[in-house]
Structure 1
Amino acid sequence: MFSFVLMILMAEDITNDTGKSIEKGDTVSVNYVGKLEDGTIFDTSVKEAAMEAGIYNQMRDYKPLTFTVGAGQMIKGFDEGVIGMRAGEEKTLEIPPEEAYGERSEELTRELPIEAVDFTPEVGMRLATDTGLTGTITEVSESNFVVDFNHELAGKTLIFLVGIVSVEESKE
């Protein structure tokens, strides 16, 4: 039921131009719903889907996502998954970790002494380094804490329901 309602909501924003198929270098606008394998929605461009999934953020502008195909603006599986689609077309992309945020790496977790910081570490707290790396505190003991710098979606297969809103041909 949810997918059916979602497809209708996405279809309302999709033009019926089924002309040009998407190629590398084209600029496309898409509506999408990103899910994990268990069906949990983690991101969407559709306001109603965000509200129904309990992830609605009133500070966010829910509108189609626009990007240039092949320019490295998107994860590899999403970027390559829209090639060949046309405006008005919908497709489900199943993207394995190696074409998304990679596998989880233990090398990206760090154990640090509590005395090295001027705050009280708590599980779930997000930290950023001077180099722009962000991580989440996953464990806290009396003397140390662990920060995981893996992307929160690392190691996960991602499933996207994608609807192509528009295609703008590359100017090259």
Structure 2
Amino acid sequence: MKELLANENEPKSIVMTVNAGAIPANHWSQDAEIGGGRIIGEACHFIDLALHLVGSPIASCQVQALGRSSSSAICDDKVVVTLGFEDGSFAAIHYLANGHKGFPKERIEVFCSGRILQLDNFQKLKGWGWSQFSKMNLWRQDKGQSACAKSFVDAIRRGTQTPIPRSDIFQVSRTAIEAATMARR
């Protein structure tokens, strides 16, 4: 997706749907002191992916949470996080724990310049409107963790720049914390 979008200068509209699955309110990841909640612990990766695909700093963040929990647990796992970017792009991250297990877990769609890219479960990428691309299928799901870890270790060994700029890491962390705070209001 990043390679196909590299030469696109128009703003991008991104829709991410994450069928995260339910986790009990007393699970460690829902504890504010231990796990920080699912936005900080999991949805942050989709904020990072949106930033990576857009390639422009995050300018705004809004959150709409579905219902409120009466317990002391966070339960910020049914939210829509909407990000605005400095270049005019936006991303809507639907992070939902109230779906069915039979439905695909992750779908990313990017609309830009009269074209569309759709990635299902990090296995099947389809494109509409691209002259040199229509689809790509992977035999296994690949979310990039192995390549990222290898790039990081290689950068440390060589003393070169890490694969993810520090400014991006801080920006995503700040945005995830801000989004989690908004979800709890």
TM-score when scaled to structure 1?
0.23
TM-score when scaled to structure 2?
0.22
Q: More strand per residue: 1 or 2?
A: 1
The one of the two structures with greater contact order (alpha-carbon pairs below 8 A, sep at least 6) is: 1
Q: More helix per residue: 1 or 2?
A: 2
Q: Which has the larger radius of gyration?
A: 1
